[in-house]
Amino acid sequence: MFSYYSNLSSEVYDLDKPIGHSFGDIEFYLERLATSTGKILEPAVGTGRMLIPLLENGLDVEGFDVSSEMLTICRDHCGKRGLNPKLFTASMQDFQVDQKYEAIILASGTFLLLHKRDDSLKALTNFYHHLADGGRIIFDIFLQTDIELGKAHTKTWKCENGDVITLETKITQVDYIHQYTVSHNRYEKWRNGVLQQTELERFPLRWYGVEEIKLILQTIGFNDITISTNYKYGKYPTQADQSITFEAVAKK
């Protein structure tokens, strides 16, 4: 049976992308949120890589994730730093809270984890309804430029206790009509050469065109849409391998 961001996957995420690890996104989001005084929501908060630096810079951020394993790690990191943000289990397309946010943020392509178009549209609409008048959504996407069916890639991480976790990943499906890929990930944890745990993960990932996202945001009701590239505010993308950030305002 395939899992999704379960124990080994969450542990690897924490090892590979520790708290404060930045692709340029943490600095960019801190700059864009510098004047925020209200509540900020981070869907798919993960282990707290982005959340904790924002909290430590005085922003009022809460978050949720579909993975209870990721949230367990996030709470542990927060507790060790004396932080106690509101964290809860939910999905982007279905969460409902009695709160209007000044900003909703999704860094590092997290939004693309919603590989079904209907789910991603529902999520953006849900975000719109949870934003205060004048509130902003800020989120990253990237284009899939290296699609090679069936080729396996392997990475290895060493844990603090000496255990080794390996990950073999390969793309097993490409749906060009509906714009997503499916990868199969195999995690294995080893101790002194003996296999301790195995985890299989089905990992779908969507892609969107730049102008496609802009049109979707406009249709939902967002205004003042700004597109940035490689965390350079207002710079329109020119190459397929660049990270792309959208910022849009919910005027109601």
Instruction: Please state the pTM of the whole predicted model.
Output: 0.95
What integer pLDDT is reported at residue 18 of this predicted model?
A: 95
- Tell me what the mean pLDDT of segment 192-210 comes to: 95
The whole-angstrom separation of Cα 215 and Cα 125 is: 13
Checking if the pLDDT of 134 tops 70, the result is yes
209: confidence class by pLDDT, cuts 50, 70, 90: very high
Please say whether the beta carbons of 42 and 61 come within 8 A. Answer: yes
What integer pLDDT is reported at residue 2 of this predicted model?
A: 66
What integer pLDDT is reported at residue 109 of this predicted model?
A: 93
Please say whether the beta carbons of 208 and 179 come within 8 A. Answer: yes
What integer pLDDT is reported at residue 93 of this predicted model?
A: 96
- Tell me what the mean pLDDT of segment 186-204 comes to: 96
pLDDT digits (tens, 9 = 90+) for 36-72: 999 999 999 999 999 999 999 999 999 999 999 999 9
Checking if the pLDDT of 4 tops 80, the result is no
The whole-angstrom separation of Cα 25 and Cα 27 is: 5
What kind and span of H or E run contains 25? helix 25-32
Checking if the pLDDT of 28 tops 80, the result is yes
What are the structural domain ranges in the chain? 7-144+207-250, 153-206
Fold designation for 7-144+207-250: Rossmann fold (3.40.50)
> Could you tell me the maximum CA-CA distance found in the chain, to the nearest angstrom?
59
